[in-house]
């Protein structure tokens, strides 16, 4: 997913420098495996683990809240129950009992240390819906009993240009919800939503509007805002626009729903003809099989924008041909090999290619209000916490329609 790049930029550990040669790009899995297996790395991990445990012990003694989560301990990615402490709430902190948490592809990459930046034990989860159980003295936006959401990040510098413009997601000091480095709180590795409770500054918490089904809302906190925010930014959120959605997975299926709710005409573009019925069922007007040259040719120059959600390598020139002059493609997937961008595909007709990673706090709040107004939710398979390892195995094989969501409160015991 798009968070791959964040992981590269903000990784606290040193990553192998990606090769710029064709076929390079991401660190080769074998390289990562080798570095994980080397004794010096194992020793470093051991020391880091010991220091984390010491910090947690100190925190618990200082009055942190006991929490129960599920954590991966090493690159096997296998999760098991894990007792730890949440920080002592500060003035601007909200304590949240986690009700539901979605499973994102990013979680899978992190627990398996695919990006070489895992800080075990890793408690995944950044698609969190919960209820407020306590607020600090300075909290103004929330009170106990409020239904709230937490997405991909729980902190940022709040003083840079990006933060000033509400693009906290692009702040150089962004703190990820899971496996992030919490600079403002002693450099603690953050622990995500696969846990009974979480403590988050109110600035990074959003309100879940009444009427939204909470399980179907959880994936909107990452997958939803990832596709909603670029549609708004690039002006594709208007009736009469024709939008292409490439790939019909966790991101793509909510992209179709948002685009239809904006009043756009939507065409789903997929390699597999078998997805046609579901695409139409989610509201798509048309369906294009990208491997069928005749179908692709007939659609050349017809679209105002394209949201490309595909994480596997794929040719983009045929997709760019589908855009009208000055049309905009937005890439939200993260193939590990560089995509090919021939200039002829964009220069003569002034087309744009942009990236997008989740959205700011304001975007996320606006997205939820919009979802509530239009009855938009993700298609989910709700699971118990003890099914999580099987869920990750299935996710790895793309065997999910369309997002796993863990019933955290219903299967992990109640929060403090």
* Sequence-distant (≥ 6) Cβ neighbours of residue 373 within 8 angstroms: none
- Is residue 299 within 8 A of residue 266, CB to CB? The reply is no
- Using the minimum distance from each CB to Zn ion, give the nearer residue, 163 or 408: 163
Footprint of Zn ion (CB under 5 A)? 104, 106, 156-157, 160, 163, 171, 222
Q: How far is CA 59 from CA 85, 87, 186, 278, 326, in A?
A: 7, 7, 11, 49, 54
The CA distance from 391 to 249, in Å, is 15
In the complex, the smallest distance separating the C-beta of residue 169 from Zn ion, rounded to whole angstroms, is 10
In the complex, the smallest distance separating the C-beta of residue 220 from Zn ion, rounded to whole angstroms, is 11
The CA distance from 403 to 408, in Å, is 15
Residue with structure tokens 């959401």?
Answer: 149
The string over 267-292, giving b where at least 16 C-beta atoms fall within 10 Å of a residue's C-beta and e elsewhere, is bbbbeeeebbebbeebebbbbbbbee
- Using the minimum distance from each CB to Zn ion, give the nearer residue, 89 or 102: 102
Reported for 4-8, long-range contacts at CB under 8 A and 24+ positions apart, including other chains, are 4/106, 4/109, 4/115, 4/334, 4/336, 5/334, 5/355, 5/357, 6/174, 6/176, 6/357, 7/106, 7/109, 7/110, 7/115, 7/117, 8/115
Q: Which helix (H) or strand (E) holds 40?
A: helix 39-61
- Using the minimum distance from each CB to Zn ion, give the nearer residue, 134 or 155: 155
- Using the minimum distance from each CB to Zn ion, give the nearer residue, 169 or 290: 169
Q: Which helix (H) or strand (E) holds 286?
A: strand 286-289
- Using the minimum distance from each CB to Zn ion, give the nearer residue, 153 or 287: 153
Of the candidates 36, 359, 349, the one whose C-alpha atom is nearest the C-alpha of residue 222 is 359
* Sequence-distant (≥ 6) Cβ neighbours of residue 91 within 8 angstroms: 136, 137, 138, 139
Residue with structure tokens 């968070």?
Answer: 3
In the complex, the smallest distance separating the C-beta of residue 4 from Zn ion, rounded to whole angstroms, is 11
The CA distance from 183 to 191, in Å, is 14
Question: If you count DSSP H runs as helices and E runs as strands, how many of each does the chain have, helices first?
Answer: 14, 19
In the complex, the smallest distance separating the C-beta of residue 401 from Zn ion, rounded to whole angstroms, is 18
- Using the minimum distance from each CB to Zn ion, give the nearer residue, 226 or 328: 226
In the complex, the smallest distance separating the C-beta of residue 222 from Zn ion, rounded to whole angstroms, is 3
In the complex, the smallest distance separating the C-beta of residue 333 from Zn ion, rounded to whole angstroms, is 12
In the complex, the smallest distance separating the C-beta of residue 349 from Zn ion, rounded to whole angstroms, is 33
Classified as helix, coil or strand, 402 is coil
In the complex, the smallest distance separating the C-beta of residue 176 from Zn ion, rounded to whole angstroms, is 10
- Is residue 111 within 8 A of residue 1, CB to CB? The reply is no
In the complex, the smallest distance separating the C-beta of residue 162 from Zn ion, rounded to whole angstroms, is 5
- Using the minimum distance from each CB to Zn ion, give the nearer residue, 216 or 241: 216
- Using the minimum distance from each CB to Zn ion, give the nearer residue, 303 or 371: 371
- Using the minimum distance from each CB to Zn ion, give the nearer residue, 199 or 222: 222
DSSP 8-class letter at 220 = G
- Is residue 73 within 8 A of residue 121, CB to CB? The reply is yes
In the complex, the smallest distance separating the C-beta of residue 195 from Zn ion, rounded to whole angstroms, is 17
- Using the minimum distance from each CB to Zn ion, give the nearer residue, 171 or 288: 171
């Amino acid at each position: 997913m798009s968070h791959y790049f964040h992981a590269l930029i903000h990784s606290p550990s040193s990553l192998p420098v990606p090769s710029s040669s064709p076929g390079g790009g991401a660190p080769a899995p074998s390289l990562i495996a080798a570095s994980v297996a080397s004794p010096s790395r194992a020793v470093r991990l051991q020391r880091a683990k010991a220091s984390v445990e010491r910090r947690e012990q100190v925190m618990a003694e200082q009055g942190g809240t006991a929490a129960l989560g599920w954590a991966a301990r090493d690159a096997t990615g296998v999760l098991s129950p894990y007792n730890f402490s949440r920080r002592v709430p500060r003035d601007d902190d909200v304590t949240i009992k986690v009700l539901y948490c979605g499973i994102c592809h990013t979680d899978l990459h992190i627990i398996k240390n695919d990006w070489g930046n895992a800080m075990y034990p890793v408690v995944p989860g950044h698609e969190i819906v919960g209820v407020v159980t306590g607020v600090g003295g300075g909290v103004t936006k929330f009170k106990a009993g409020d239904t709230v959401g937490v997405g991909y990040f729980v902190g940022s510098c709040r003083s840079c240009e990006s933060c000033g413009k509400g693009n906290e997601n692009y702040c150089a000091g962004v703190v990820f919800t899971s496996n992030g480095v919490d600079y403002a709180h002693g450099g603690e590795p953050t622990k995500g939503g696969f846990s009974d409770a979480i403590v988050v500054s109110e600035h990074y918490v959003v309100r879940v509007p009444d009427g939204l089904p909470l399980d179907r809302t959880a994936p909107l906190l990452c997958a939803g805002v990832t596709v909603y925010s670029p549609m708004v930014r690039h002006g594709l959120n208007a009736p009469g626009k024709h939008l292409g959605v490439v790939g019909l997975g966790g991101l793509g299926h909510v992209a179709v729903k948002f685009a239809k709710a904006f009043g756009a005409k939507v065409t789903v573009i997929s390699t597999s003809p078998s997805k046609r019925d579901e695409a139409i069922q989610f509201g798509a007007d048309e369906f294009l099989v990208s491997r069928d040259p005749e179908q692709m040719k007939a659609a050349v120059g017809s679209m105002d924008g394209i949201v490309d959600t595909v994480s596997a390598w794929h040719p983009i020139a045929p997709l760019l041909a589908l855009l009208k002059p000055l049309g905009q493609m937005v890439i939200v997937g993260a193939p590990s090999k560089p995509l090919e961008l021939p200039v002829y595909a964009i220069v003569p007709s002034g087309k744009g290619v942009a990236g997008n990673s989740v959205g700011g706090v304001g975007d996320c709040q606006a997205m939820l209000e919009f979802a509530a107004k239009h009855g938009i939710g993700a298609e989910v398979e709700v699971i118990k916490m003890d099914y999580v390892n099987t869920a990750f195995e299935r996710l790895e094989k793309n065997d999910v329609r369309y997002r796993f969501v863990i019933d955290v409160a219903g299967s992990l015991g109640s929060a403090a």
